[in-house]
Amino acid sequence: MNYLKVSSLLVLLFFIAPIVSFAEKVIVIDPGHGGKFSGTCGFSGNQTGYCEKHANLDVAIRLKELLKNTDIKVYMTRENNSKDFASTSQEDLRQRMIVANNFVKGNNQDSLFLSIHHNAHPSSTLTRGFETYYYDYNAMSASERQYPPDPIQVGLAKESGKFAHLVHNETLKKINLINRGVRNNQAFFVIRNAQIPATLVELGFMTNRDEERLIKTPQFQQNAAQGLATAVINYFKVFEVYDQNKNKLATFDKRDDAINFAKKQSKYVEVWDKDKQQTIFTSDKYQVFDKLNGVLREFFTQQDAVNYAQKTNNVRVVQDTTGYVVWSNYIDQKYEVYNQNSLIGKYFDYEHALSIAKNYNQSKITSLGQAEVLWTNIKGVSVDRSIKVERLSGTNRYLTAIETSKKMYPNGFVSDKEEKTVILATGGTFADALSAGPLATAYGNAPILLTRSSELNVEVIEEVIRLGAEKVAIIGGKSAVPSSAESIFKDLGVETERISGTDRYATNRAIIEKLGNVNGLFVASGQGFADALASAPIAANKGWGILLTEQSWISTAAQPIIEGKEVVIVGGSAAVSTKVEEALKSASKLSRVSGSDRYETLAKLLWNYSSDLQGESVLISTGSNFPDALVSAPLAVHNNAPLVLVGKNRNRNVESFLMAYTNSVRVNELAVIGGTNALNGSQITTIETKLK
């Protein structure tokens, strides 16, 4: 080999070369020399024409072939013996490394550089053996430090050293040459300017006649390539632990050792399987939630999170990846897990308890203090407690409303019921039925039925007859519920009363007037249904009204209704503006309940008015569309039950309310309003687990 050293700084020039994609294993094989730069011609190369550049490439090609069927991507700085990079040796080396470094641009963490050479001695033909080199700035002598390295390589001494020792040991097993060791005291240009872990091998002395003869043989070249290939493959068979800034903290040969190390860290870490090129573990975050105001802080160990949470009221600690509540001071521990008769642990979250119990063959989950079996895989042991899940749905919104009415009054109105009234509203829009929830209470907990605006649904007529209704309160004008409805009910001997106004807001005010002197008002948008819908069962239960408003203004006709009443605005300023809020100052007490979306708003409503909800049933319906949930307010009041709106994604704050709700209430029934298109089985199961 030519031991040329270059003193000039590395010039960062762009050289056209393939650039690898992120997250793949890469080896850049550098067959030393090439073209006009032959390297040593050894003992006989000047006569035979076979010099170092030829031997280097022969081994390199065999190495590439051996790695072809692996998942390691191979690049070569040259693939023929006529290739050189510049007219001078200094510039040739510089350009060679620009090419090599561009191969791995963006993928430096998972790439290697291996420069293949054969050695020469300037004066002795007896010197022989195998040497391996890597660059370690701290090991350099003063004379060697005059040759400036790439700054990236300076920080790679440990990795380059690890690679060098792997290469040396595996190759030595195959070629059986004299061991001249691994060295880190030479500032060879290619290894000090590689931007990835780098090693240079000297596969024997071509100036030694016997070793040169061996080097030329296909068997030696194949053996050398096999040793190098094994080293490259084994280099990646490790597990690396990184912090959130991608600083490497440790490297392990065994997966479990890496994960156990990671679990003990008090900061975020991740474990990288270098061989499979995937993250196999990330630190779990433990989030401390205020029951109303969301995340307070995040921690990377459960104990740190609990220590912080213990200093604050009304908080819970949630494991981020699973969503399990692992500690709380407002949700009770309710579940015990046993393996046979041995207590494994106590848990706040049923899903958490279930995940533990399933790890054992003879396990069960019992309710804390009740000793009821909630789940078991023990043969012969039965489950003592389950929640009845009943779906109330029809093939359309009108039939779903009727199913809800039947749930409330399965045998119709009893004979001594004082108010035998049904509320009828359009199913085409939401505003009329939305504000009619509290009216249902005023009419003796009347069911709400829906009809088409073009004609009265025959199923509605049949349900009015089945109930034994004596009166139908029609909500909205004749464009909402047809005028023929009055005639049809009159012919049936059923009294009708139409409550309506010139628009939805006037109709809404007419409903509130019909309610009489309400205790308070929820003010919500008349353009969206979700906020008002969430408040409807609470309003009905409290004897409040629901006042609908435009986003940016409220009718002056609403002022007499507001004056002197407690008013709660439901929803953020995007739904009910601050301008409207200012117009509500005549209220005796004014507040706003809002969250980041409809489900967060619902959670806050449930928390604020939890004392008004103590029934043993819970109602759930979709929060994505209005008709099904519209008719559920009377049923919620009938059962003194919370109404939970469910979206596509789980809302942890709503779920935590349900978990806390069961601290004092034993829920026995879950009523699902709407069909499977609105609420699927997994959504229902999720809610059910929070109520066990």
Say if residue 619 is in the same domain as residue 682: yes
CATH number, domain of 131, equals 3.40.630.40
Count how many domains the chain has: 3
3-state SS class at 91? helix
Sheet of 520-525, strands arranged across: 545-549, 520-525, 566-570, 589-593
Of residues 528 and 584, which shows the higher confidence score? 584
Say if residue 243 is in the same domain as residue 173: no
Say if residue 247 is in the same domain as residue 141: no
Is 269 a member of any domain? Answer: yes
pLDDT at res. 335: 95
What's the pTM value of the predicted model, to 2 decimals?
A: 0.66
Q: How far apart are CA 424 and CA 461, in angstroms?
A: 11
Q: Find the range with the poorest average confidence among 118-122, 571-575, 625-629.
A: 625-629
Q: How far apart are CA 160 and CA 421, in angstroms?
A: 85
Distance spanning both ends of the chain, measured CA to CA: 76
Is 178 a member of any domain? Answer: yes
3-state SS class at 241? strand
Say if residue 432 is in the same domain as residue 489: yes
Structure-token pair, residue 18? 């393939």
The domain boundary residue, chosen from 282, 311, 346: 282
The domain boundary residue, chosen from 227, 260, 282: 282
From the list 405, 445, 404, 385, the residue with the least C-alpha distance to 421 is 445
Q: How far apart are CA 494 and CA 496, in angstroms?
A: 7
Q: How far apart are CA 663 and CA 232, in angstroms?
A: 59
Q: How far apart are CA 688 and CA 288, in angstroms?
A: 24
Buried-exposed string 75-95: b where 16+ CB fall within 10 A, e elsewhere: bbbbeebebbbeeebeebbbb
What amino acid occupies position 335? Answer: Y
What's the rounded mean pLDDT across residues 123-131?
97
User: What whole-number percentage of the chain has pLDDT above 90?
Assistant: 73
Q: How far apart are CA 66 and CA 175, in angstroms?
A: 16
Say if residue 624 is in the same domain as residue 515: yes
Q: What share of the chain is helix, strand, coil (3-state, %, to 5)?
A: 35, 25, 40
3-state SS class at 287? strand
CB 180 within 8 A of CB 130: yes
Structure-token pair, residue 250? 């440790």
Structural domain including 101 reads 25-235
Angle at 325 between CA 319 and CA 330, to 5 degrees: 140
Say if residue 253 is in the same domain as residue 196: no
pLDDT at res. 621: 86
Q: How far apart are CA 669 and CA 646, in angstroms?
A: 17
Is 124 a member of any domain? Answer: yes
Say if residue 190 is in the same domain as residue 254: no
13-22, 38-47, 361-370, 387-396: range with highest mean pLDDT: 38-47
Is 657 a member of any domain? Answer: yes
pLDDT at res. 11: 29
Is 345 a member of any domain? Answer: no
Does pLDDT of 652 surpass 90? no
Q: Find the range with the poorest average confidence among 11-25, 80-94, 109-123, 211-225.
A: 11-25
Say if residue 46 is in the same domain as residue 114: yes
CB 308 within 8 A of CB 288: yes
pLDDT at res. 23: 62
Does pLDDT of 10 surpass 50? no
Say if residue 268 is in the same domain as residue 214: no
pLDDT at res. 18: 38
Residue with tokens 């909205």: 476
Does pLDDT of 385 surpass 50? yes
Is 298 a member of any domain? Answer: no
Indicate the pLDDT class of residue 536, thresholds 50, 70 and 90. Answer: confident
CB 195 within 8 A of CB 104: yes
**Pairing state between β 421-426 and 448-451:** parallel
Say if residue 507 is in the same domain as residue 650: yes
Does pLDDT of 52 surpass 90? yes
Is 85 a member of any domain? Answer: yes
User: What whole-number percentage of the chain has pLDDT above 70?
Assistant: 96
